[in-house]
Structure 1
């Protein structure tokens, strides 16, 4: 018998909660910086929006590539907490580079190294959630971790707004304060997370990325990865939401409110959707998420004031809440337990490359056609993705994906 959403949260293991708070603290730190970084690059350093798209895409693709190797290494070692801690620690060490950077080169380097840290921790952490969570609460557990992570994603920009006001728009001062929650995140994972013992009957993995091992992931897993890749092509970096707000004349100090609104919608929806996915058709929820993305793109394409942009950003956040935790749940369920790290790593590699392509295309479209063309193109691709999912829905159900 499935637990209801109101009860499932009471039974989610403490380790999942702790991992959620670790993610939240690091996201507070990262988003305090990232909420201001695109505007700082464009308005202060004179970077083009195409360059912003390339930089953001490369940064996320770097994280995704790193996740393949860290995830596979966690399968080989049978140790996930060690690699997750290393990744959080590296990210914390790079945070002081942002306020010290004196040129675009330094900012790009800092962003790159920070994303390497994200890549090292991502797949082992997600595999650790799957290892800790009971199967009947896996959707709720991933939804909870995603919700707490996203609480950080809206607290970070909110803090950035307040600190920009208190410091008189002193961006470097905000960047320095962002170092604090990053350090707290590393401390928490060290003391509060206990990795479960590896079951003795679980097969040992010698070469996780060998062709034979990749074949063991199975057809259903690769279908999930393919769906996620096409889905990611239908969206692009949230940096373009920030630039959209700037394009309607939102003051510099209030720019981070965009990420606050989006992340609040994301956070409030991720856990309920995750819990719901433990009991209903998951493919239907994915299609709902894509429909929300279509509406978000259309609203953002034609918005003329802050109200319109805000509505579009809320819809964007809701679409993230309907999809991101759910895709992680599907990866956890379709991959063998001994290959979960590798499975999450490959999943993140493919979606990261798709996000790179989407962000570069979005940046180029913005430079040529402006924001309207960029978001309309996103809506068209999202519609095509919905049609594609509907066309293979029966096949996916036969594979027991839904």
Structure 2
């Protein structure tokens, strides 16, 4: 099967997948312990956690539109990806030496700034090198390799916490190594595809944006509604700890998410190439709504583990398929801009979503942010179901 995959999918897809794998080991080692570090070591409250996560993710969203449009204008994507991955790796040092929540805010801002630079050009690079009939499989494979890294990162973090008497700063220091490997793989392994020489045009003009299909704008609206209830995963980790999962085992919840995600992303992508993407995306949204409803009313640790597995399945049914759906509807010369726009919309929603989640948790009950997320997912499902389909 592995040989068949190598023959069917371009080399760039594989290399970019392994870049994502090592980069996600780096980022998930950090993210899996960061909420605990903020609350237990630096003394931050939940509203501060929500503020930091919301600002960080919204920063990434704003930068994505600029980097995506620049990659279309410049007709070069690899260099922007290198800058993005390199910046996110370098700021890992700031987490390790942070003395206050302000330091963590600065580091998360820079880390997500780097993510914002790299994501749209990288996603466009996958589409640039993959035939349309294989895009679901290509994005699914990249997501699978990405989630293997996201699986290994929290696992390594948990192992380090067990062996070092919960030395959270040591986790940050050792997270540097996989980040450096990711940058080297990108520099040495990815080939920028040849493009016809043409006069650069600003992709953010009305003349260029009119080329976007109406279904793309509707998809943008659906993504906005959905993500207004999709707060930072930090609240999932804090909910697990509240229900009774030991602190040293909390990072393993992310391991379970990414095991489920990794096992489902590629099969879901292949299936979307054969039966269509919208139905699978609807299934993912409905599963998210049910899972968040479960987080609202969960009673015991064993139920938490089941919910994290379902959350990973939702990711497998939605993330790669959404990217393939965008690539299907956009001209090749505007892919970076299209990916940047949808990331801008979804990421911009994360700031109010995370702030609102923190406020609802503190002022009302821990169940409130999850009920909001479930409701937004159901509304997005309805909007997507009523959207016109491509014949």
- Measure the CA separation in 2 of the matches of 1:204 and 1:310: 53
SS in 1 for 2:140: helix
Instruction: Give the counterpart of 2:108 among 107, 111, 114.
Output: 111
8 Å CA contact retained: 1:228, 1:327: no
1:22, 1:188 within 8 Å by CA — same for their partners in 2? yes
Q: 1:242-262: CA deviations, max 9, x gaps?
A: 011111132221110111111
2:232 corresponding residue in structure 1 = 237
Q: How does 1:281-360 map to 2 (within 5 A)?
A: 281-360=276-355
Shift of the alpha carbon at 1:6? 10
> How far, CA to CA, are the matches of 1:209 and 1:99 in structure 2?
39
For structure 2, the residue ranges without an aligned partner over 5 or more in a row are none
Q: Is the 8 A contact 1:295 1:315 kept in 2?
A: no
CA distance in 1, matches of 2:375, 2:67: 35
**Match status 1:96 vs 2:89:** no
In structure 1, the residue matched to 2:154 is 157
Q: TM-score, normalised by structure 1?
A: 0.94
Equivalent-residue separation in structure 2 for 1:97 and 1:12 (angstroms) = 38
> Is 1:263 aligned with 2:258?
yes
CA contact (8 A) 2:17 2:142 kept: yes
1:216 aligned to which of 211, 220, 225: 211
DSSP-derived class of the 2:306 partner: helix
- CA–CA distance in structure 1, aligned partners of residues 91 and 216 of structure 2: 34
After TM superposition, the score normalised by the length of structure 2 is 0.96
Residue in structure 2 matching 1:19, options 12, 16, 39: 16
Q: Partner of 2:75 in structure 1?
A: 78
2:192 alignment partner, SS class:
coil
How many residue pairs get matched?
391
CA drift of 1:34 comes to 0.6
Runs of 4+ in structure 1 deviating by more than 4 angstroms, as ranges, are 4-10
Q: Is the 8 A contact 1:90 1:114 kept in 2?
A: yes
**1:346-377 deviation line (CA, Å, top 9, x unaligned):** 11001101222222221111112232222122
What CA RMSD, in Å, does the superposition of the two structures yield over aligned residues? Answer: 1.7
CA drift of 1:221 comes to: 1.8
Deviations for 1:94-133, whole angstroms, at most 9, x for unmatched residues?
A: 1111101111111110110011111111110000000011
User: Which residue does 1:185 correspond to in 2?
Assistant: 182
Contact 1:299 1:311 in 2 (8 A): no
- Asked if the contact 1:161–1:256 (Cα under 8 Å) also holds between the matched residues in 2, the reply is yes
Contact 2:42 2:99 in 1 (8 A): no
Aligned 8 A contact 1:5 1:272 in 2: no
Distance change >3 Å, CA 282–CA 341, structure 1 → 2: same
Preserved contact between residue 35 and residue 256 of structure 1 (Cα < 8 Å): yes
Unaligned segments of structure 1, at least 5 residues: none
Go from structure 1 to structure 2 and tell me whether the alpha carbon gap of 1:6 and 1:313 turns closer, same or farther (over 3 Å shift). farther
1:64 is matched with 61
Whole-Å Cα distance in 2 between the matches of residues 119 and 92 of structure 1?
14
Partner residue in 1 for 2:31: 34
Counterpart-to-counterpart distance in 1, 2:28 and 2:126: 23
Whether 1:199 and 2:196 are equivalent positions in the alignment is: yes
Matching residue within 234, 243, 246 for 1:248: 243
